Structure 1
Amino acid sequence: MNERNFEAFNLSDEISRALGVLKYKTPTEVQSVVIPRAMESQDLVVTSQTGSGKTAAFGLPICEKIQWEEKLPQALILTPTRELAVQVRDDMTNFGRFKRIKAVALYGKEPFAKQKEELTQKTHVVVGTPGRVLDHLERDTLVLDDIKYLILDEADEMLNMGFITKVEKIIKKLPSDRVTMVFSATMPNKVETLCQKYMNNPMNIEIDTTGNTTSATEHRVIELEEAGKIAILKSLTVVENPDSCIIFCKTKEHVETVFNELEQANYSCEKLHGGLEQDDRFAVMDGFKMGNFRYLIATDVAARGIDIDNVTLIINYDVPLEKESYVHRTGRTGRAGNKGKAITFATPYEEKFLRAIERYIGFEIPRMEIPKHHEVAKAKAAFDEKISGRRVVRNNKTARINQDIMKLHFSGGKKKKIRAVDFVGTIAKIPGVTAEDIGIITIQDNLSYVDILNGKGSVVLQAMENTTIKGKKLKVSEAIK
């Protein structure tokens, strides 16, 4: 099956409206194959390239089937990294925006108490890393008794990072009659074993396997010595002159070295590795997605959660030591029908790792020569013009869907015995406003937040300045997003 548009899936008006705002027009192959089967509540094992559109493949059916009225989470999505958890949370929120679906991300290095408070609100979808999800389960701050959908996203990477024991502990706490879907760029034996153990007669779907990635991505290797890497990197970026480039390094020390060299050469660049504070990592990720800088120098932590369709060049400054990492790294380019290029630097010491990668992906990666001086000189003017030119800010999906939404802050919550139904009943009485204009409502002890949809935020804000809720006068203001 290869549906030509999303209308063929008979999605609800709310989900279809969100897709329109997000500018989702033509389903990718994985979406065309997976969505109809997921809508039929079929267990699925999907082997699909990074960047193939799999989040929408499982996210749209889940958002379609979620019952808004239910208080406990109905879907659990496990991811290997915090970055991917946040990205998937944002995607699920965007898909379900007009259905008022609430998605929560649970991950480490964020205050546990903050997440605990968030889980006291009505939550439809929980997205998280195995360690933090298990922490919440063991402390009874997360109840998964009503889970109907379990998604293991990037399953190979999750198990490769040593999460298998935690994943199994979580699975054993879930209802047995759930639907389970496993998505993975590769399918090692340990993933297959997990599927056989915990899934109900799953359908296996294989899309965009490693052997045919060359149709979208041009793969090349430059053989060199370690001492010459920085100079060759600079020459290569001048000749290639990419609009958007990720440079992968195997250690944070290499990231720091490359970043310092490129920054001193006035490259528009940032760095990303596990040694940075979590907030800084998220800020760098967001900046790269928005096109605020062209070069991201990163460890493999960045191979998860970067949802960008137009990364034009991947440079493996170091050969990845694990063959699966090559697939995940290079999956950052050649996405959504765009062409991409992946160039790997290989020293004599790294040749054995390179050969293992070539056996794994099923083809020998062509070698290319180090850029010659005259090639660099010829390309330098165009490179300098792009470096000094104005960067084009990319269209952000979340910003698009939020443009007609205003979040209002109210100075009262649970301690004043105010409930979500009180906000809905009061706001829906404002002339020109209906319940359909009210989005996600979050009620805390002493304050509350209400999303107002469809560009009616100003109308509601003005009206609520002189209106009581449950007989109580609350201060209202536009919340700082």
Structure 2
Amino acid sequence: MKDKRFSTYPISAEIKRALTSLQYINPTAIQQKVIPLVIRNENQDYVVQSQTGSGKTAAYGIPLCDKIDWDENKVHSLILTPTRELAVQVKEDLTAIGRFKRLQVKEIFGKQSFEKQKWSLKQKTHVVVGTPGRILDHLQKGTLDVSKLQYLVIDEADELFNRGFLDQLEGIIQFLPETRTNLLFSATFPDALQQLIERALSEPHFLVNEEKEVTPAIHHAVVESTKPMDILIRHVLSAERPDHALIFCETQRDVDQLYRTLHTSIPALAKLHGGMRQEKRLQAMSQFKAGSCRYLISTNLSARGIDVHGLDLVIHASFPQTVEDYIHRTGRTGRNGAIGKSILLMKPVEKEARLLLEEELGFSFVEQVKPIVSVEQQLSFYQEKKNVHVSTNKKRIDEGITKLYLNGGKQKKIRPGDIVGTITSIPNVDANDIGVISVEQTASFVDILNNKGTYVLEHLRTATVKGKKLKVHRAKKE
């Protein structure tokens, strides 16, 4: 298939509608390779080498969401990720792609209540996204039913391997049906991954990009200086004036130290690393995506899963240890055709390491004159950026959608069908105006589409669901 617009692909109208809402018009190179093959070939395994930022989540997410039958209650697809942050991002992306099919995508990872996850998995679940440890726990305890599983996706396989998840991956595979399709994605492709491929996949086809491919839409610059790192970063931010910037450090300690020296003088700054409490990590990531946090200091691994529309600057506050680290870091910007910039901050003693990195990348960094910016200019810039908000894909698709809360759930014997029946009895409202429905123990939530939220809300306030009068209002934003 050589068509270069999603509108020409043989996918459902609901998926096309979601892609249009997300402003996904033309597939990326890797999406052009993967999507037609997965749609066409039901039982063929694939190994895909694709760099960070190339659109690989949509490359597997679009065909998987298209293939799912809403009426099937058991898990159709299992997606394994190396970090909780990436699991959250994948869940959000697939929920957006499958919004108009009302697909239920669940995120499952550690340091969350196992019992709440167990209860959630008992409800209709089409896709499960999670980290290997907690997924294996549920499989071993019989709380995750994969008897009807059709697809296993191993995302960021190189990091799963690097973090020692191979044994857990093999443990998970033992619980899965033998007749399934496997998709393995990796930005880099070390030889050690061959063990995983031999165990998990059956005669896979390989779709491999250049090993050290770097997005051409990124401008790669370097600043060499002996100045303290916090001063350099202040100057760079003031000179570049980015809406969003992601600042990379090598260790958790480096992140904490840099944050301490910067947070009092730079508004809307946050930090992210694996040593933080989970709620703080998720909060930092959420704020960065939403725009309330402009700048994020992070370790390499924790930043995986961060997909911010319009991220225009990546700063390397510590020298990347490998060329793969550099590719992963810079892959956060310059996504899907957008222009981005990567600035490497280095000390004179790191010249040799720079030359080796340039040799492996196949290009030279542009020498950037050290920016000299006055304190007044810095303060002016930070104040100017303080209340700027950026658009995101999630905001675009949420336009026209209203989530409603009903104070009745399973304890009142409410089922999704009861809610659908009540809503479709409202004049000029049909099933096409109803999105995802979630029935919990004491409450229910339903997405109303097509800008009919206010209209449906007013009618539900005087209607009954399964003969019960329920309180109804707009759900609080997550």
Query: Please, what TM-score do these two structures have when normalized by structure 1?
Result: 0.91
For 2:256 and 2:361, the matched residues in 1 are separated by: 33
Q: 2:143 aligns with which of 141, 144, 147?
A: 141
Aligned 8 A contact 1:410 1:474 in 2: yes
The CA deviation at 1:350 is 5.9
The CA deviation at 1:220 is 3.9
Question: In the alignment, what sits opposite 1:442?
Answer: 438
User: Measured at CA, do residues 288 and 414 of structure 1 come closer, stay the same or move farther in structure 2, by a change above 3 Å?
Assistant: closer
The CA deviation at 1:241 is 3.5
Q: In the alignment, does 2:166 pair up with 1:164?
A: yes
The CA deviation at 1:300 is 1.9
User: Measured at CA, do residues 347 and 399 of structure 1 come closer, stay the same or move farther in structure 2, by a change above 3 Å?
Assistant: same
Question: In the alignment, what sits opposite 2:396?
Answer: 400
For 2:267 and 2:458, the matched residues in 1 are separated by: 47
Question: In the alignment, what sits opposite 1:119?
Answer: 121
Question: In the alignment, what sits opposite 1:388?
Answer: 383
Aligned runs of 1:50-449 on 2, under 5 Å?
50-207=52-209, 209-213=210-214, 215-224=216-225, 228-266=228-266, 268-347=268-347, 357-358=357-358, 361-363=360-362, 365-366=364-365, 368=367, 371=370, 375-377=371-373, 384-390=379-385, 391-449=387-445
The CA deviation at 1:182 is 0.9
The CA deviation at 1:357 is 4.6
User: Measured at CA, do residues 8 and 257 of structure 1 come closer, stay the same or move farther in structure 2, by a change above 3 Å?
Assistant: same
Aligned 8 A contact 2:108 2:128 in 1: yes
Q: Any idea what the Cα deviations from partners look like across 1:203-248, whole Å, max 9, x if unmatched?
A: 21123x35441622233444555x7333333333344333322111
Aligned 8 A contact 1:241 1:383 in 2: no
Q: Percent identity?
A: 43
For 2:147 and 2:351, the matched residues in 1 are separated by: 50
3-state SS in 1 of match to 2:246: strand
For 1:223 and 1:445, the matched residues in 2 are separated by: 58
Q: Which moved more, 1:183-192 or 1:61-70?
A: 183-192
Q: Which moved more, 1:397-406 or 1:91-100?
A: 397-406
For 2:220 and 2:394, the matched residues in 1 are separated by: 32
3-state SS in 2 of match to 1:32: helix
Q: In the alignment, does 2:460 pair up with 1:464?
A: yes
For 1:90 and 1:154, the matched residues in 2 are separated by: 17
Q: Any idea what the Cα deviations from partners look like across 1:277-314, whole Å, max 9, x if unmatched?
A: 32222222222223334321111243211112432222
The CA deviation at 1:317 is 1.2
Aligned 8 A contact 1:2 1:33 in 2: no
Aligned 8 A contact 2:221 2:342 in 1: yes
Give the count of matched residue pairs. Answer: 474
The CA deviation at 1:414 is 2.4
Aligned 8 A contact 1:107 1:131 in 2: yes
The CA deviation at 1:454 is 1.9
Aligned 8 A contact 1:407 1:450 in 2: yes
Q: Any idea what the Cα deviations from partners look like across 1:57-94, whole Å, max 9, x if unmatched?
A: 11010011001111101001111111110111011111
Q: Which moved more, 1:241-250 or 1:68-77?
A: 241-250
Aligned 8 A contact 2:153 2:183 in 1: yes
User: Measured at CA, do residues 321 and 467 of structure 1 come closer, stay the same or move farther in structure 2, by a change above 3 Å?
Assistant: same
Aligned 8 A contact 1:79 1:154 in 2: yes
For 1:72 and 1:195, the matched residues in 2 are separated by: 26
Supply the AA of the counterpart residue of 2:68: I
3-state SS in 2 of match to 1:171: helix
The CA deviation at 1:37 is 0.5
For 2:26 and 2:128, the matched residues in 1 are separated by: 27
Q: Which moved more, 1:144-153 or 1:299-308?
A: 299-308
Q: Which moved more, 1:452-461 or 1:96-105?
A: 452-461
3-state SS in 1 of match to 2:285: helix
The CA deviation at 1:364 is 5.9
For 1:387 and 1:348, the matched residues in 2 are separated by: 29
Supply the AA of the counterpart residue of 2:85: E
3-state SS in 2 of match to 1:469: coil
For 2:305 and 2:52, the matched residues in 1 are separated by: 10
Q: Which moved more, 1:235-244 or 1:284-293?
A: 235-244
Q: Any idea what the Cα deviations from partners look like across 1:309-352, whole Å, max 9, x if unmatched?
A: 43222222112335432221121122221233323334577677
Aligned 8 A contact 1:408 1:479 in 2: yes
Aligned 8 A contact 2:84 2:131 in 1: yes
The CA deviation at 1:26 is 1.3
Q: Any idea what the Cα deviations from partners look like across 1:41-60, whole Å, max 9, x if unmatched?
A: 33211111101111111101
Aligned 8 A contact 1:134 1:170 in 2: yes
3-state SS in 1 of match to 2:228: helix
Aligned 8 A contact 2:311 2:332 in 1: yes
Unaligned runs of 5+ in 2: none
Aligned 8 A contact 1:408 1:449 in 2: yes
User: Measured at CA, do residues 322 and 116 of structure 1 come closer, stay the same or move farther in structure 2, by a change above 3 Å?
Assistant: farther
For 1:397 and 1:43, the matched residues in 2 are separated by: 30
Unaligned runs of 5+ in 1: none
The CA deviation at 1:441 is 1.9
RMSD of aligned alpha carbons: 2.5
Q: Which moved more, 1:386-395 or 1:176-185?
A: 386-395
User: Measured at CA, do residues 417 and 57 of structure 1 come closer, stay the same or move farther in structure 2, by a change above 3 Å?
Assistant: same
Aligned 8 A contact 1:3 1:27 in 2: no
